[in-house]
Amino acid sequence: QVQLVESGGGLVQAGGSLRLSCAASGRTFSSYIMGWFRQAPGKERDFVAVFSWSGSSTNYADSVKGRFTLSRDNAKNTVYLQMNSLKPEDTAVYYCAARDPTTTWGKGYWGQGTQVTVSS
C-alpha cells in the first residue's frame, strides 16, 4: 500500500519559514514525479512545485519562485519543501503527491495534507 505522509505545517508569522516533509512508503519512487499542491479555503487546489524523483527537472509556481525550495533524501524516501519569506496568501492545506510519468495527478497518490497558516 502506497502512503504519503506530510508533516511540518503550523502557524508562522509573515516573513517566517517552515519546512514541510513528505515521507513516501509502499513502493520505489525512483521513477515517479513528486509534487506539492495547496488548497486555500474556498479555492481550488493549486500547483506549488514539482520535480522528478531523479531530480532532473524542477518547476515552481510563479507565486513561490525564489521563496520555496524542493529537496529530497532518497535514502529516507522523503521529499521536503522549504518555504521562506512566507506571506499570508500562502495560507492553505499543503498536499504531497506522486505519480507515474505516464499518468495524471488524478490517478496518482496523495497525502492527507498539512495546514500552513501565515499570520500578518
pLDDT in the model for residue 4: 95
pLDDT in the model for residue 1: 74
**With 0-12 CB in 10 A as exposed, 13-18 as middle and 19+ as buried, what is 116?**
buried
pLDDT in the model for residue 62: 97
Q: Average the pLDDT over each of 19-33, 77-91, 105-119 and give the range with the smallest value.
A: 19-33
With cut-offs at 50, 70 and 90, classify the pLDDT of residue 80: very high
With cut-offs at 50, 70 and 90, classify the pLDDT of residue 115: very high
pLDDT in the model for residue 42: 93
* Residue 52: Cβ within 10 Å count: 15
**CB of 117 closer than 8 Å to CB of 12:** yes
Q: What is the pLDDT of residues 13-55, one digit of tens each?
A: 999 999 999 999 987 777 789 999 999 999 999 999 998 766 6
pLDDT in the model for residue 53: 65
In whole angstroms, what is the distance from residue 73 CA to residue 53 CA? 10
